[in-house]
């Protein structure tokens, strides 16, 4: 039995953009075994689709700011100029739309679109940007990106921008670091609510989280974050944040990154499947059965070797069944909860 699943976050488009291959679309359509997601492996695993992130990475000259173990990195990378962010965002979006023209995926702007793509056996892709550096404070580029299909925004990555401040990649740290949203950031939240663009709280610091919770009329969503009480990394969600998400009838997608799973915060491939299940147990307890989903961070993080790549997701779903989760709940965590949240926030 293959249970279809929808992934709350992947960085596959950045991997393709950075790949030396000239035909980047062919690399995805045919697959070469590198990275975590390509079309053959997605189909084999039961992947119905996901949020495909456009993440503008730090400039190579600034990578020293996050070098070494990500769990121990004490600094935030420098802010990224809008021109650099737009250039990489356009590059990734171009790959996505070329893949759509080839029939490899369908860019979806509603839950109905996702269901239609599934019926057509196409991979459903939601256009997401991770860190709003490509958006100007007059929101002109937001209008253009929305017209192109953008339906989900992470206000920050783990750095500051014109709208807010992200958390550092640090273990044994509370995410309550730095200031809240700027005035432009608060206006961005309102603009997203008005347009029907989902706001992703992953990477955002606690003060920014509070601001979104106070302003947004939508459920609070963290597409790829875990439980701070189990792994006290700044990227994970504290008890009060989980309570706020539950109160809003929001949702959290489990991040597969080993350093955000392990209590010691180390990025180690031998991380056990049991630890992923433990985080899901805690999320279900904190948020209820409707508030938990998957947000792998495939192609953007080291994942447990037992998972390996997208073809390992059925192992996690089977582990939940073995744990005593009913099939209905597993199907909700795998797919149905994301469909319901997309319908509530995007349409």
Q: Please report, rounded to a whole number, the percentage of residues in the chain having pLDDT higher than 90.
A: 92
pLDDT digits 0-9 by tens, 299-308: 999 999 999 9
pLDDT digits 0-9 by tens, 58-113: 876 443 434 334 444 446 778 889 999 999 999 999 999 999 999 999 999 999 99
Average pLDDT over residues 117-125: 98
pLDDT band per the 50, 70, 90 thresholds, residue 1: confident
Average pLDDT over residues 174-187: 98
Average pLDDT over residues 216-226: 99
Q: Residue 106 — φ and ψ, nearest 5°? A: -130, 125
Alpha-carbon Rg for the chain in angstroms: 18
Q: Please report, rounded to a whole number, the percentage of residues in the chain having pLDDT higher than 70.
A: 95
Return the number of other C-beta atoms located less than 10 Å from residue 340's C-beta: 17
Q: Is the pLDDT of residue 291 over 90?
A: yes
pLDDT digits 0-9 by tens, 150-164: 999 999 999 999 999
Domains and their CATH numbers in the chain: 5-345 (3.20.20.140)
- Tell me what pLDDT residue 60 has: 61
pLDDT digits 0-9 by tens, 134-149: 999 999 999 999 999 9
Average pLDDT over residues 230-258: 99
- Tell me what pLDDT residue 268 has: 97
Secondary structure, 3-state, the chain:
CCCCEEEEEECHHHHHHHCCCCCHHHHHHHCCCCCCCCHHHHHHHCEEEEEEEECCCCCHHHHHHHCCCCCECCCCCCCCCHHHHHHHHHHHHHHHHHHHHCCCEEECCCHHHHHHHHHCCCEEEEEEEECHHHCCCCCHHHHHHHHHCEEEEECCCCCECCCCEECCCEECCCCCCCCCCCHHHHHHHHHHHHHCCEEECCCECHHHHHHHHHHCCCCCEECCCCECCCCCECCCECHHHHHHHHHCCCEEEECCCHHHHCCCCCCCCCCCHHHHHHHHHHHHHHHCHHHEEECCCECCCCCCCCCCCHHHHHHHHHHHHHHCCCHHHHHHHHHHHHHHHHHHHCC
Q: Which of these ranges, 1-5, 8-12, 251-255, 320-324, has the smallest mean pLDDT?
A: 1-5
Cα separation, 139 vs 133, in Å, equals 11
pLDDT digits 0-9 by tens, 186-197: 999 999 999 999
pLDDT band per the 50, 70, 90 thresholds, residue 22: confident
Average pLDDT over residues 203-225: 99
Q: Is the pLDDT of residue 263 over 70?
A: yes
- Tell me what pLDDT residue 78 has: 81
């Amino acid at each position: 039995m293959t249970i279809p699943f929808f992934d709350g976050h992947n960085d596959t488009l950045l991997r393709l953009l950075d790949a030396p291959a000239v035909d980047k679309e062919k690399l995805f359509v045919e697959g070469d075994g590198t990275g975590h997601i390509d079309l053959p492996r997605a189909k084999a695993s039961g992947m119905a689709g996901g949020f495909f992130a456009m993440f503008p990475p730090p400039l190579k000259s600034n990578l020293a700011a996050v070098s070494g173990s990500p769990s121990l990195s004490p600094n935030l990378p420098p802010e990224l100029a809008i021109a650099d962010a737009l250039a990489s965002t356009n590059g990734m979006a171009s790959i996505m739309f070329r893949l759509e023209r080839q029939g490899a995926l369908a860019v979806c702007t509603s839950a109905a679109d996702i269901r239609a793509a599934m019926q057509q056996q196409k991979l459903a892709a939601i256009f997401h940007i991770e860190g709003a550096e490509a958006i100007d404070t007059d929101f002109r580029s937001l209008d253009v990106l929305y017209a192109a299909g953008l339906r989900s925004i992470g206000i920050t990555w783990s750095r500051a921008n014109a709208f807010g401040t992200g958390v550092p990649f640090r273990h044994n740290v509370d995410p309550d670091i730095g200031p809240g949203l700027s005035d432009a950031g608060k206006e961005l939240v309102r603009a997203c609510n008005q347009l029907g663009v989902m706001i992703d709280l992953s990477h955002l610091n606690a003060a920014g989280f509070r601001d979104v919770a106070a302003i947004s009329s939508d459920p609070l969503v963290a597409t790829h974050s875990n439980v701070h009480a189990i792994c006290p990394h700044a990227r994970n969600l504290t008890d009060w944040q989980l309570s706020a998400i539950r109160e809003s009838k929001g949702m959290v997608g489990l991040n597969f990154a080993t350093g955000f799973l392990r209590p010691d915060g180390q990025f180690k491939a031998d991380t056990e499947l049991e630890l992923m299940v433990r985080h899901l147990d805690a999320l279900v307890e904190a948020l209820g059965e409707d508030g938990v989903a998957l947000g792998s961070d495939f192609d953007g993080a080291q994942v447990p070797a037992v998972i390996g790549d997208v073809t390992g997701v059925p192992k996690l779903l089977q582990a939940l069944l073995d744990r005593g989760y009913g099939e209905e709940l597993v199907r909700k965590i795998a797919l149905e909860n994301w469909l319901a949240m997309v319908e509530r926030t995007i349409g």
